[in-house]
Structure 1
Amino acid sequence: MKAIWNDTIIAESDDTVVVEGNHYFPFDSIKQEYFKKTDLTTFCGWKGMANYYSVTINGKTNKDCAWYYAEPNDAAKKIKGRVAFWNGVLVK
């Protein structure tokens, strides 16, 4: 699987976990140079507190387009250490 934004691969892995239709990529598969943590957090009743990254490529930023659960609830422990994407990031 590949996550692509702004014509650039930002993550690539054969080991994604699909939850609610989203592919969660291992942290070590993301291209760290494009990612910056943001202050946004959201809460999911069964997964827990999500944190976000923005991605910047060639001067363009996709704000809060990647999320992860640093300490997911037990029901979602299989996505610990993984990142998922939305907001225009193509996953294929």
Structure 2
Amino acid sequence: MQAIIDGVVVADAPTEDLVSIEGNHYFPPSSLDAAAFSDSDTPYTCPWKGVAQYHDVAAGGTTHHDAAWSYPEPYPASFDRVGSDYSGYVAFDKRQVTFA
């Protein structure tokens, strides 16, 4: 599956490598175009996943604010609920990103 912003592929991974959480596809860190991502200052803590890190994503000459997020150090108890360790995996704002 590919995550695409402004016609630019910013993440690309086989579907079996993705982790699905609450209707979002989380891409493994190795599947990202790392140069396109920068950390945002937007704060958020999920009660069961932990502290999120939002990311701005640069694509097509534009920086898309908070277009992605990850949980660098999710609560270990959440791994049982999710079914795997998703530390550092990245999900995308469906209003800003399309998938193919």
- Given the two structures, how large is their TM-score scaled by the length of structure 2? 0.85
Q: Which runs of 4+ in 1 moved over 4 A?
A: none
**Correspondence 1:90 to 2:82:** no
Structure 2 counterparts to residues 74-85 of structure 1, below 5 A: 74-77=76-79, 78-85=85-92
Structure 2 counterparts to residues 39-50 of structure 1, below 5 A: 39-50=41-52
Structure with bigger strand share is: 1
Q: Percent identity?
A: 40
Aligned to 2:25: 23
Whole-Å Cα distance in 1 between the matches of residues 77 and 67 of structure 2?
A: 24
Cα RMSD for the two superposed structures? 1.2
Long gaps (5+) in structure 2: 80-84
Provide Cα deviations, 1:24-50, integer angstroms capped at 9, x if missing partner. Answer: 001111001111111112011110110
| Conserved? CA contact 2:19–2:86, under 8 Å | yes
- Given the two structures, how large is their TM-score scaled by the length of structure 1? 0.91
Structure 2 counterparts to residues 9-20 of structure 1, below 5 A: 9-14=9-14, 15-20=17-22
